[in-house]
Amino acid sequence: MRKASPGLSEKQLGAYFALAEVSSLLQYAVAEHLRIDGDLSYVQFQVLARLVDAPGGKLRMTDLADGVVYSRSGLTYQARLLDQRGLITRSPSPDDERSVMVAVTDAGRDLVAQVLPGHVDRVRQLLFEQLTSDDVIVLHKVLGRARDHMRAAPPRSAKPRARRNRTG
């Protein structure tokens, strides 16, 4: 592992491991806070956050599934939980009657607003506290580029149906 691998340089391996560990620690800390402070799982928070961010506070189920969870049924499960708590509503799309539009409710927005400061606080303490603003800019630039690249390739909610050749 630590020795020079055939595919990745020492530097690359180090960067990869650092990324993996940082995101793991960060996600764990943040998830703990969300649970305590808002009784939300990380996935549920992501769903709400995406909706708050979306124009009109609305998104189709499939778009949500692509962004957050990796199966339609998984999102249906989470959406039911959020629906039962009154944090979102689900209604048939006027454009396409097959689609379901998910919308944040006021209660959902309130909960996000309630949870966000503490969330942001943890992130700042853990990740940004001793990063310079140059670090942040570079991080944003480099990871943003990686994200765009990675977004381009993968299907996801489509995969269970489109059944592509499995490598193994």
Binding residues for DNA, per CB under 7 A? 41, 43-44, 60-62, 65, 69-81, 90, 93, 96-100, 158, 160-162
Least spacing, CB of residue 92 vs a copy of itself, in Å: 27
Least spacing, CB of residue 45 vs a copy of itself, in Å: 11
How many Å apart are CA 17 and CA 4, to the nearest integer? 14
Q: Quick one: what does residue 114 bind among DNA, a copy of itself, none, with the CB cut-off 5 to 8 Å set by partner type?
A: none
Of 9 and 91, nearer to DNA (C-beta) is 91
Task: Write b or e for each residue in 79-109: b if 16 or more Cβ atoms lie within 10 A of its Cβ, otherwise e.
Answer: bebbeeeebbbeeeeeeeeeebbbebbeebe
Q: Quick one: what does residue 79 bind among DNA, a copy of itself, none, with the CB cut-off 5 to 8 Å set by partner type?
A: DNA
Strands 58-60 and 100-104: antiparallel
